[in-house]
Amino acid sequence: MAGYDEAYRRSIRHPEEFWAEAARGIDWDTAPATVLGPDGRWFPDGRLNTCHNALDRHVAAGRGGQPALIHDSPVTGAVRVLSYAELLDEVARTAGMLRDLGVGAGDTVVIYMPMVPEAVVAMLACARLGAVHSVVFGGFAARELAVRVDHARPKVVLSASCGIEPSRVVAYKPLLDAALEQAAHRPERCVILQRPQCPAELTEGRDLDWAATVRDAEPAPCVSVAATDPLYVLYTSGTTGSPKGVLRDNGGHAVALHWSMANVYGAAPGEVFWAASDVGWVVGHSYIVYAPLLAGCTTVLYEGKPVGTPDPGAYWRVVATHGVRTLFTAPTAIRAIKKEDPSGEFAKKWDLSGLRHLFLAGERLDPDTYHWAADLLGVPVVDHWWQTETGWPIAANCVGIETLPARPGSPTKPVPGWDVHVLDAAGNDCPPGVEGSVTVKLPLPPGALPTLYRDEARFRSSYLERHPGHYLTGDGGHFDADGYLYVMGRIDDVINVAGHRLSTGSMEEVLAGHPDVAECAVIGVADEVKGQVPVGFAVLKSGSERDPEELERELVALVRERIGPVAAFRRAVVVARLPKTRSGKILRGTMRDIADDRPYTTPSTIEDPAALPEIAEAMKRA
């Protein structure tokens, strides 16, 4: 069998041959004659249906009785298992409901739901009809939902009465109502899944009860779509306020995800695969929903946390109880477990002998966390790196091809298909050990974003213009002499809080909107569990006599209200001034160095050097 080097070389030298072979893992209505179009789109003349590939074909092949989805919900005390045949039946009827509501191929549907099976059903039902879903994470506030509704312009919104966090029931319906009041776009219908923990009042003429509406619907068949037709839009934070709508196509996505399950994750049909994330993130889209089902695996949908539901053994219980072979989560989850159970006592209570790999992604995996997890579990811990935009891993130890020796701190090497380069400011490849901007030479492989929804110009300016011929990942890093990649962090103002990508710019917009704030800065500061947390610095308007502590509390509440709890914005500090250059640019980089206790030099362009010790003092208070 070919090893990693050969597979990688072939994928870069002969991408069409490589991906034509991978495309055979998918059922096509019309097999693609062209593999890569001149515009960089994959399989342009192929036709297929993603839902058929995720469900119908497995039922037809005899997998109907195999569990497709295990919903494990410690917050409600429920476990529900849906076989492939049962999931197909629910999806087909939900697609019938959407069709009855006028949803057809190309229409958008916003899904704002907690981690319940109906969220997965909703996504697959859209795919069945060729409709484009846009899932919005439940931890966002009404305003963020409104922005996404206005951009996606859904015909229908699918939602639930509530989500359940360990400490509280989150009523979704009032958030949805507030979002639709703020949005200019009006969806024709909202279909609400009533949960017994907090049933919602339905709005006459607009809202429908999910259970009743699905009950009356006839199952809908799969609609054949072009490989290049959109499957979904997923919004992600950019450096400026408005989120970017990452578009995913049908054909390239199905081919790449199906290929990744065997080759990156080493997962075989019939195995249990658990991505402990949320359907609102790309990990949830790719590795809770689409990839495991495309591959004929059983996927776990977990409505709980790594700690507190009820203890730091929660993940180990799920692994042991459901026979999980591959666990994928974010380093922050492992750090949370390690903090509460440093000697791993809770893991010893469960039989984890079925676990084969732990995959980690979503933020940089620090070597301490890597070693702790590897020692505890005794299985390979695979750090891998990718992004919402890419949809699947850019760099990983491809255990399905060949397991390379791991190097803690590195997600190993580029995955076949990804021609990764580290470039200097002039666009030249950096030598090993020298840090630069991590890029991917075009064409991007199948499954990566072809564009931003309704914003080709922003797609080009955000990703393609900085280094022509390359996709700009926005991360900085370096290769070592053996070709291992090290990704060190963002080169822009995006921060990563508990594996959630957030824009400091949008938090600054919120602070700046407060009537007492003259100017402000938000920076990401290192945090033991969440990796980074945002901290805000605000200067009062001259003449304002507000009590600083009261204002700080107001600013924290404002960010929670406008962006949502997911921002984890818990610290704001009122300062006399911000450190700036003489041209007025806030020295955020120097502020970050001070906050993280890194050595810093006072920039020669600074307006007033005394501003830095003042900020250092304020940070100590924060």
Ligand X SMILES: CCC(=O)SCCNC(=O)CCNC(=O)[C@H](O)C(C)(C)COP(=O)(O)OP(=O)(O)OC[C@H]1O[C@@H](n2cnc3c(N)ncnc32)[C@H](O)[C@@H]1OP(=O)(O)O
Residues that bind ligand X (CB under 6 A): 114, 138-139, 163, 165, 170, 277-278, 281-283, 305-306, 330, 332-333, 336, 361-362, 386-388, 498-500, 530, 565-566, 568
Paired tokens of 403:
């397991």
Quick check: 535 and 588 in contact, CB under 8 A? no
CB of 282 to ligand X, least distance (A): 5
Least separation in angstroms between CB 285 and ligand X:
9
Measured from the CB atom, the residue of 554 and 614 that comes closer to ligand X is 554
Q: Are 607 and 580 contacting, i.e. CB atoms less than 8 angstroms apart?
A: yes
Q: Give burial (CB, 10 Å; 0-12/13-18/19+) of 39.
A: exposed
Shortest distance, CB of residue 173 to ligand X, whole angstroms? 13
> Of 28 and 140, which CB lies nearer to ligand X in the complex structure?
140
Under DSSP, the state recorded for 137 is -
Q: Report in angstroms how near the CB of residue 275 gets to ligand X at its nearest.
A: 8
d(CA 237, CA 182): 20
Strand segments, DSSP code E, in 91-229 are 108-112, 132-135, 156-160, 162-165, 168-171, 189-193, 207-209, 225-226
**Residue 488 in 3-state DSSP?**
strand
Residue 199 or 269: the one with the smaller Cβ distance to ligand X is 199
d(CA 191, CA 213): 8
Here the tokens at position 434 are 């020298």
CB 565, min distance to ligand X, A: 3
Pick the closer one to ligand X by CB: 88 or 420. Answer: 420
Rounded CA gap, 149 and 108, in Å? 10
* Alpha-carbon distance values, 194 to 113, 214, 376 (Å): 11, 13, 40
Task: Decide whether 91 or 361 has the Cβ nearer to ligand X.
Answer: 361
Q: At what angle do helices 142-152 and 172-182 cross, to 10 degrees?
A: 50
Nearest residue (CB) to ligand X, 170 versus 574: 170
What is the nearest approach in angstroms of ligand X to the Cβ of residue 116?
Answer: 11
Nearer to ligand X, 237 or 451 (CB): 237
Minimum Å gap between C-beta 499 and ligand X is 3
CB of 582 to ligand X, least distance (A): 38
Residue with tokens 């996404």: 148
Strands 381-383 and 357-360: parallel
Instruction: Tokens for 211, please give them.
Output: 């259970």
φ/ψ (deg, to 5) at 454:
55, 25
**146 or 220: CB nearest ligand X:** 146
